[in-house]
Structure 1
Amino acid sequence: MAEYDRMNDLELVNLIKSGNKRAFAQIYDRYFGVLYLHAYRQLRDKDEAKDLLQDLFSYLWSHRESLSPSSNFSHYLYMSVRNRVLNILAHKYVEDKFLLSLSHTGSRAEAVTDHRARERQLAVIIEQEIQLLPPKMREVFELSRKANLSHKEIAVRLGLSEQSVRSHVKGALRLLRSRLGLWVYLCMIAGAIAGAN
């Protein structure tokens, strides 16, 4: 290897182009250390820096025939490392943004799923409380809130006076409010929460 030590980069590159492995080993030994430090300073990851250099030298060997000999081969190597570092950093940036968007999407999806689960639980609780109402009151209330019938329609269907229907609905709401709490009661009045279907 002594004769290769004395060769300049241009001479070594010309030999590499013709498939000379010893010339390639000389370039590798000459530049690996400084290029590794250059990559590591940017990436702050030893394994990533080593992988980058291994990929670069593998690429150089597999594309040796298309190498353009230059008096400034070291500049070519530094620029190759720089470009690869930039590609890695750009990929990480895109990946981080993608993962962040997934994380946010996941959080929103979990929040929606959690909200729907709680809404279903609440609907079940409301339905249980409705079933505990006195029979006639429950029947009137269900026709009012589930079938969306008017007081007049309920009165005709059940053979009751409209005043009686109104009293049953008010009584049901009063009982449900006392059992379920004001917030649930208001939601139910507003129609935001329907009974379990």
Structure 2
Amino acid sequence: MESVIKSFDWDLIMRLREGDESAFRVVFDQYSQRIYGLAYQFFKNKEQSKEVVQETLLRLWEHRLQLNGEYPLAPWLFTIARRVTLNMLRQTATSEAARKKLWLTMHPEHNETEEAILNADLERLTTQILNKLPLQQQMVFRLSRFEGLTYEEIAARMQISVHTVKYHLTGALKTLRSCFDKTEVLLPVLLLSMFY
């Protein structure tokens, strides 16, 4: 299943990069309602939510050459949608009173299905990046972040110095940040910040 999803995203992204308008239509059909739903949670306004969809897809088209076929499309697209939404919120809330009113009308509702899909995409993206790291960096990262071991415990288990553990962990985090920056995914940055 994962390879089918990856293959689909890769084909779609390659077609987008080549300026294939039918690929853009596929993206529109697949994601416009989900982007609209995301925006509507904030604005509770159909016109503003439609505007977020249009602006998000316009930015996708304008920046399609930045897409990377190795990474899933959804996190990149929803990052753009969230940025567009936040920018519009800032423009809408021109006064402190307007800001307060806006935040009071917002509900903490969220689409669990969408969140599950995004989390799965982000987990797959993280795994892909981790698997490309040198073996010792992978091991140190997994022991630290997934098993919660201290530097000293990792050093004892791997029979290396604490300094070497810190070196490998720093290298792994730097690589992860760099890859997430290239894909313009914001959520994993929050994920990484939890590790400190």
TM-score normalised to structure 2 length: 0.43
Greater relative contact order (Cα < 8 A, sep 6+): 2
Max Rg structure = 1
TM-score normalised to structure 1 length: 0.43
